[in-house]
Chain A
Amino acid sequence: MLIQVDPSALGHTKWHEYAVRFLFGGLITAIAGIIAKKFGPGVGGLFLAFPAIFPASATLIEKHEKEKKESERLGGTERARKAVSVDAAGAAMGSIGLFVFALVVWQLVPSHAAWMVLTAATIAWLTISVSLWLIRKRT
């Protein structure tokens, strides 16, 4: 299956579902800052890769898959579980990219401009994640 952009998917998400993700994202960012201040950057840094919104996103996928399949009069529960499993497998590949993101920042930030390092690290995350996805798709 080709990579596609589906704008209609946004219509399936309700405002409170966006609010939940905003809330969890904001909370974990604030908490990571507080932990870093209290216990030092060594502990605070761990939370930069915390799966803060994963449960909310997975629940959302389950709900949308169930609604879609039930409207087609098909059993949605099994399909929804598979969709969450596939999404989690994608997140596992993304987390390897996340490791490379952190590695790039760790190695380059002492000697380069921070904005350049964060841009390079984000590009590295995307490149590694997409490459792993393409490799897995072909095998």
Chain B
Amino acid sequence: MGQILIRFLIGGVVVSAFAIVGDLLKPKSFAGLFGAAPSVALATLSLTVATEDAHYVATEARSMMTGAIAFFVYACFVSWAMIRYKPNVLFVTICAIPLWFTVAFGLWLVWLR
């Protein structure tokens, strides 16, 4: 439980820090880069290296590559859908999350499993 709480606090701080940097920057397209900052990865991997071996961390990083491809597909879809269909922002960003799951797990099953 203590480990989970530490992960929660460190994750919250690192993600918030990258989000604040993104808020400070202009133009919007440049600030958007920070929407895909490695904040969760930095928080997680820096804690994981303290408790697990290098092979464990390398396996997590290898899977993260498919997660990043899924993030690319998700972000491209949101960008396109916002212009094409003019939907509600929260609706499209939440409803597109299954797309991330499909691409991430699909690639992982085909490529890495």
Identity of the chain A residue whose Cβ is nearest the Cβ of B32 in the assembled complex: A90
A34 on the interface (CB 8 Å rule)?
yes
State the interface size on chain B (CB cutoff 8 A).
83
Quick one: which of B39, B59, B89 has the most chain A CB within 10 A? B89
Check if B33 sits within 8 Å of A42, measured CB to CB: no
On chain A, the number of residues with a Cβ less than 8 Å from chain B's Cβ atoms is 85
- Where chain B touches its partner, the secondary structure class is helix
Set B54, B66, B74, B78: member contacting A46, Cβ < 8 A: B66
Contact mask A31-52 → B, CB, 8 Å, 1/0? 0111010001111111111111
B65 to chain A: which residues have CB within 8 Å? 99, 102-103, 106
| Known A22-B12, A109-B57: A85·B79 in contact at CB below 8 Å | yes
Interface residues of B in 14-69 (CB under 8 A from A): 14-16, 19-20, 22-49, 52, 54-69
* A-B contact sample (11 more), CB < 8 A, given A49-B64, A98-B41: A18-B20, A48-B41, A58-B90, A59-B89, A85-B82, A87-B32, A91-B35, A95-B71, A98-B68, A102-B67, A106-B64
